[in-house]
Amino acid sequence: MPHTFQNLIETRVTTGHFDATRSIDDSAIRTMLRLATQAPSAFNLQNWHFIAVCTAEAKEQLCTLSFGQPQVKEAAVTFIVCGQLDGYRHLHETLQPSVEAALIPATLQERWSAMVNDLHRDNPQLQRDEAFRSASLAAMILMLAAQDQGFASGALSGFDATGVTETFGLGDHLVPVMLVTVGHPSGQPRPGKARKPIDAVLEYR
């Protein structure tokens, strides 16, 4: 039965255990990434980058850097979802396909490129905030895309960011925002956890 959007959201839960014997092929990974990168981003910066950790050796390293959380190596793939800090420098070329497809005018490409450069160039806090916003929006779609394909998933921020940066060679311009595990679930899915009532989190002004 096809998922409805509501059903997809309501059945997604964080999965702690995966069937470690089953892999996910490249085409499924690409489909999830194609959907995840439909996420919006400020100026269409697309200031994200994904490392699909699939080999046993790399998973072992990442598991150790995640304080031994076993799902990181049991999952068929654990994505290191990164934010790109210097996306502002590349906005002109990032927008070029939209200009060529006549989706935006070249004048907007020029205006946004200048504007983002002015805003971000000397503002590392904004570079980081925007990197986290963009990567987080993409990560959420990634988990829903995984769910839609019949996989289970989980987000993790429990990892050593410095260690991940060093071990996976992220360099100065990528920041690891979160890990997203994706794989075949093992065992029965558990029910979703309770959420705060809407009245506790919503206010009107």
Ligand X SMILES: Cc1cc2nc3c(=O)[nH]c(=O)nc-3n(C[C@H](O)[C@H](O)[C@H](O)COP(=O)(O)O)c2cc1C
Interacting residues toward ligand X by CB under 6 A: 13-14, 69, 154-158, 178, 192-193
Q: How far is the CB of 149 from ligand X (least distance, A)?
A: 18
Query: CB 62 → ligand X: shortest distance, Å?
Result: 12
Q: In terms of CB distance, is 87 or 154 closer to ligand X? A: 154
Given the complex with ligand X, which of 51 and 65 has the nearer CB atom? 65
| Whether 41 contacts 134, CB under 8 Å | yes
Residue 113 or 147: the one with the smaller Cβ distance to ligand X is 147
User: Residue 57 Cβ, how far from ligand X at the closest point, in Å?
Assistant: 22
Q: Round to whole Å and give the CA distance between 133 and 45.
A: 11
Residues near 160 by beta carbon (within 8 Å), at least 6 away in sequence = 65, 66, 67
| C-beta of 75 vs 95, nearer to ligand X | 75
C-alpha to C-alpha distances, 191 to 41, 49, 76, 104, 195, nearest whole angstrom:
32, 31, 22, 44, 12
Task: Kindly state the smallest distance separating residue 10's Cβ from ligand X, in Å.
Answer: 10
Sheet holding 152-156, edge to edge: 48-53, 77-84, 174-183, 152-156
- Decide whether 94 or 181 has the Cβ nearer to ligand X: 181
**Least separation, in Å, of the C-beta of 34 and ligand X?**
22
Residue nearest to ligand X (CB): 158
Two structure tokens written together for 125: 């806090």
Closest CB 89 distance from ligand X, rounded Å: 27
Judged by beta carbon, residue 5 or residue 204, the one nearer ligand X is: 5
Residue showing tokens 């085409």: 27
- Tell me how many helices (H) and strands (E) the chain has: 9, 4
**What beta strand segments (E) does the chain contain?**
48-53, 77-84, 152-156, 174-183
